Structure 1
């Protein structure tokens, strides 16, 4: 698993503002890149652990026997893309914040799928 390489590739996606690899069970950020004083990637990544946990709980309550590929949150000026990493026992996700004006969402999802292969188990 090459976290630094994966984060570098994620930040190369058009419109990328910040990226992180997060363990949603512990809430721990394993690595992050980008962001800044106007966008604290570590706070955003930690907060999105709650989003993933809520979706996992909801799927269990509904007895949905399936796996989450990604979760998309659209803001007026940003996209926030959460992609669960297969083979990580469902505990890791890639988090990517994108500038909506500069990003192509379909290409970003495709690229993030490729990035996940760098860290997949």
Structure 2
């Protein structure tokens, strides 16, 4: 039995765990974001969190997490800002136009956080993994192969 009030009450305790959640309005953008996350989960079943966001607005399109303490909705805007700042840094360096930002890696003591721009240049994929469980090369390859 589905009780709408209980579903809303659950969202107050944090993000749903072990479930892909589409946040964007229903349509092709949301569907594409959810498909990207499904692909990532097939390749990295032990990941901590994953999300697809828009760079310009910092809006979350879809997310997945294994812990209520790890809330991609709270950090996706900050990650979008990191990408925007890195793009500005590259412009300041006056790099050739064929040099494009494709990926950022943030290395913590026990976690790896990867940001990969999707081919449209408007969205990005964020993945957080425990570096004791996941090889960086495998994580990067899974992210590279899910670009749609």
TM-score range, shorter chain: 0.7 to 0.9
Question: Is 1:45 aligned to 2:65, yes or no?
Answer: no
Question: Is 1:81 aligned to 2:114, yes or no?
Answer: yes
Structure 1 counterpart SS, 2:48: strand
Alignment TM-score, normalising by the size of structure 1:
0.87
Match of 1:3 in 2: 33
Cα deviation for residue 73 of structure 1 reads: 0.3
Q: In the comparison of the two structures, how many residue pairs are matched? A: 115
The one-character-per-residue Cα deviations of 1:79-100 (angstroms, maximum 9, x if unpaired) are 00000011x1x22110001111
Match of 1:16 in 2: 47
Larger radius of gyration: 2
Structure 2 counterpart SS, 1:42: helix
Cα deviation for residue 35 of structure 1 reads: 4.4
Alignment TM-score, normalising by the size of structure 2:
0.72
Counting only pairs closer than 5 Å after superposition, residues 1-121 of structure 1 correspond to structure 2 as: 2-12=32-42, 13-64=44-95, 65=97, 66-86=99-119, 88=120, 90-116=121-147, 119=148
Is the contact between residue 52 and residue 125 of structure 2 (CA under 8 Å) also seen in structure 1? yes
The one-character-per-residue Cα deviations of 1:37-66 (angstroms, maximum 9, x if unpaired) are 211111122211111011001111111121
**Stretches of structure 1 lacking an aligned partner (at least 5 in a row):** none
Aligned CA RMSD, in angstroms, stands at 1.4
